Amino acid sequence: MTELFTNIPFVKELAATADNMYRLGWDERNGGNISYLISEEEVAEYMDITNVRRVIPLGFNAKELIGKYFLVTGTGKYFKNVNGDPETNLGLFRIAQDGKNAELLWGYADGGKFTSELPAHLMSHIERIKVDPENRVVMHCHPTNLVAMTYVHELETKGFTHTLWQMSTECIVVFPEGVEVLPWMLCGTNEIGVATAEKMKSARVVVWAMHGIYGAGKTLDETFGLIETVEKAAQIYMLIGDRKRINTIKDEDMVKLVELFGVKYRKDFLDLKNGR
């Protein structure tokens, strides 16, 4: 059963994603975490969903997610090891009927548990599902250039978003709702989870100043690509530095982009003379 389960598509996909995130330097040591909402039908296809191995307290009440299944990276685990030993570094659990516990069905084979930032993940899932019922992924990592940018750029959502949009033509199309920004907060707490989830109501990307990023999406690929695009924009910004700019993407040109691709965007994040 173990060999079968570790080779099913959603486990292999998450392990491959963790590999890529580590390779890009987004998840040094045990930094970063991923949570993946899996349907009961998908899980039941590969294992006995009545066989609960352990019950682990969540640390908060996730009543909105009762009965839902999540594949989640473990606390203290290194992303570079996930692909080689998914059964130790990942765990699949169901939110118990009391909403306060996780029923472990597979993984955390060394006696471990889910990431300490699980509250931020589950709270974000709750809010993103309200916006988009197909949301299945929440991803946290530490992209180097984005973190650097939070040290030298004002931490104001509109300005931060506008700067990122200007860095590459694709940005306003990939994240037209912009990014939300939080000031530095103590990680691994319910407080930062609540703050992140609140920001997730309006955007799929939340920047944790001097720390990292939270991204949400329908699939692992979509979420990875979203963070990848934000990080690329931050990299360009950091390369430009204090150099004088003689060219830029104008706000009017960004409007042409979103109209061409038919995406809704935060109009109030642009400065348009004609109010388009």
- Quick: pLDDT tens for 123-168: 999 999 999 999 999 999 999 999 999 999 999 999 999 999 999 9
Residues 127 and 77 in one domain: no
**Model pTM?**
0.92
Residue 255 and residue 141 share a domain: yes
Edge-to-edge, what's the strand order for the sheet holding 90-95?
54-57, 101-107, 90-95, 69-73, 33-38, 137-141, 212-217, 205-208, 180-182
Residue range 38-82, pLDDT digits in tens:
999 999 998 889 999 999 999 889 999 999 999 999 999 999 999
Q: Where are the alpha helices (DSSP H) in the chain?
A: 2-6, 9-23, 40-44, 86-89, 118-131, 144-152, 157-167, 171-174, 190-200, 220-240, 251-261
Phi and psi at 105, nearest 5°, equal -105, -25
Verify that 211 and 163 share a domain, yes or no.
Answer: yes
User: Does residue 40 sit in the same domain as residue 90?
Assistant: yes
> Which of the residues 28, 103, 117, 259 is marked catalytic?
117
Q: Which of 80, 115, 150 is the last residue of a domain?
A: 115
Domain stop point among 115, 144, 179: 115
CA distance readout (Å), 255 to 122, 179, 204, 262: 34, 17, 20, 10
Q: Are residues 186 and 77 in the same domain?
A: no
Structure confidence by residue, pLDDT tens digits, 202-243: 999 999 999 999 999 999 999 999 999 999 999 999 999 888
Residues sharing a CB contact under 8 Å with residue 28, sequence separation 6 or more, in sequence order: 142
Question: Do 74 and 121 belong to one domain?
Answer: no
Do 156 and 258 lie in one domain? The reply is yes
**Does 74 share its domain with 131?**
no
User: Rounded CA gap, 275 and 74, in Å?
Assistant: 48
Enclosing domain of residue 98: 1-115
Q: What is the CATH number of the domain that holds 34?
A: 3.40.225.10
Q: Looking at the structure, do residues 139 and 254 belong to the same domain, yes or no?
A: yes
**Count of the separate structural domains present in the chain:** 2
4 pLDDT more than 60: no
117 as an active site residue: the answer is yes
114, 91 Cβ separation under 8 angstroms: yes
Q: How crowded is the C-beta side of 20, counted as CA atoms within 13 Å?
A: 15
Q: Among 96, 115, 134, where does a domain finish?
A: 115
- 109 and 131 in a single domain? The answer is no
